[in-house]
Amino acid sequence: TDNNNNRVKQVAIPEFNKKNAICKYPFESNSGEELSTELHNKTIQEYCKIGDVDNAMKLVAQLEAMGFHPNSISYGFLIDSLGSVGRTLEADVLFQEMMYLGLKPRIRLFNALLKGFLKKGLLGLAVKFLVEMDRMGVCKNQETYEILLDYYVSAGRLEDTWMVVNEMKTNGIQLSSFVYGKVIRLYRDNGMWKKAIGLVEEIREKGISLDRQIYNSIIDTFGKYGELGEALEVFEKMKQESIVPDITTWNSLIRWHCKAGDLTKALQLFTEMQEQGLYPDPKILMSLISRLGELGKWDVIKKNFENMKCRGRQEVGAIYAMLVDIYGQYGRFQDAEDFISALKSEGFLPSASMFCVLANAYAQ
């Protein structure tokens, strides 16, 4: 049906993205001209490209009402678009319709639908879909396996993860750094840190380059189980291989050193991180300040706070709030008062919670 001889009576089609005029047709809705199925399909695809799946589906309904169907390319765009916005059941209906019409979907479409099912937690449908793939003789590719691994690792399904990894090895599909990174994190979360480190040796033996994701997983694994020396060795190795640590790397090292009570090293890492132009997660900063407060190191807190101000941190207001809270908890109401005064002088408006903290400190 995709030729210029097959024409249907023109239906009024709105402009795409009226603000940016992505695609405007050179005819008016009442001009009496005819709109080909080819142009219908092109329009459906353009709507999908700009994320307007509702208008794309309206065109599908108009087309089918006249006895026609989208072509295989349009089906692909529609299934992708519906899956990306969580409308997986509609995507599945179109997929089944596509099969009924004798159109053969490519593996990319199978993967798009599988990803949509798992994104919504529809594991039962995903498993049935995989069975259907096998029945049709559609072979899983690297992307299929990585979609499955991403879901299984996030769900903590260790046995299913290993089943997928073993199937990949059996089918001769090389495990990528993405796969190894996922498995290492799963081992870490299940207390199997020695196995996680064993995977690092396997990676090196196979000549696979360790990327930032894998390094971060290894560092966090060592830190979580108290192997801080090893975590720092991996950190140095990471830098030697010209892989720049990101905020995840620094947060992990600071968090685990705080938890282990090594505040000197945590503060050193905190300073180094800021020198790289990065800023920690607020929870990490709160943990660091709290531990210093527990030890009564108020001078250290003030010194680091002043350093952050000198670096022009935009989060000064949030830091003031943390400090007022910490000082209030330990009954240092004069310091809390000083910080509120400083906060006002910086042009920040103290919140009601700050004054509540201060009132509690006085009450104690």
User: Per the structure block, which two tokens stand in for 187?
Assistant: 């081992």
CB within 8 A of 101, min separation 6: which ones? 69
Token pair in block for residue 325: 């809270």
Residue of 187 and 315 predicted with greater confidence = 187
pTM: 0.58
Contact in structure between 175 and 169 (CB atoms under 8 Å): yes
DSSP annotation of 213 reads H
Distance of CA 218 to the CA centre of its chain: 19
Question: How far apart, in whole angstroms, are the C-alpha atoms of residue 110 and residue 76?
Answer: 10
7: helix, coil or strand? strand
pLDDT classification of 18: cutoffs 50, 70, 90: very low
pLDDT digits (tens, 9 = 90+) for 191-207: 787 787 788 777 777 77
- Whether 289 and 324 have beta carbons less than 8 Å apart is answered as no
Greater model confidence, 19 or 214: 214
Tell me the three state secondary structure of residue 19: coil
pLDDT at 7 over 90: no
Least confident range from 5-14, 142-151, 210-219: namely: 5-14
Model confidence pLDDT, tens digit, residues 229-244:
989 998 998 999 889 9
Q: Give the pair of three-digit tokens for residue 90.
A: 């509609």
Amino acid present at 75: Y
CA 64, CA 49: separation in Å to the nearest integer?
A: 21
Question: What digits encode the pLDDT tens for the residues 26-81?
Answer: 323 344 444 578 888 888 999 988 889 898 999 888 888 888 899 888 988 998 88
* Residue-by-residue DSSP string for 45-105: HHHHHTT-HHHHHHHHHHHHHTT----HHHHHHHHHHHHHTT-HHHHHHHHHHHHHTT---
- Give me the half-sphere count of Cα atoms (radius 13 Å) on the Cβ side of residue 77: 23
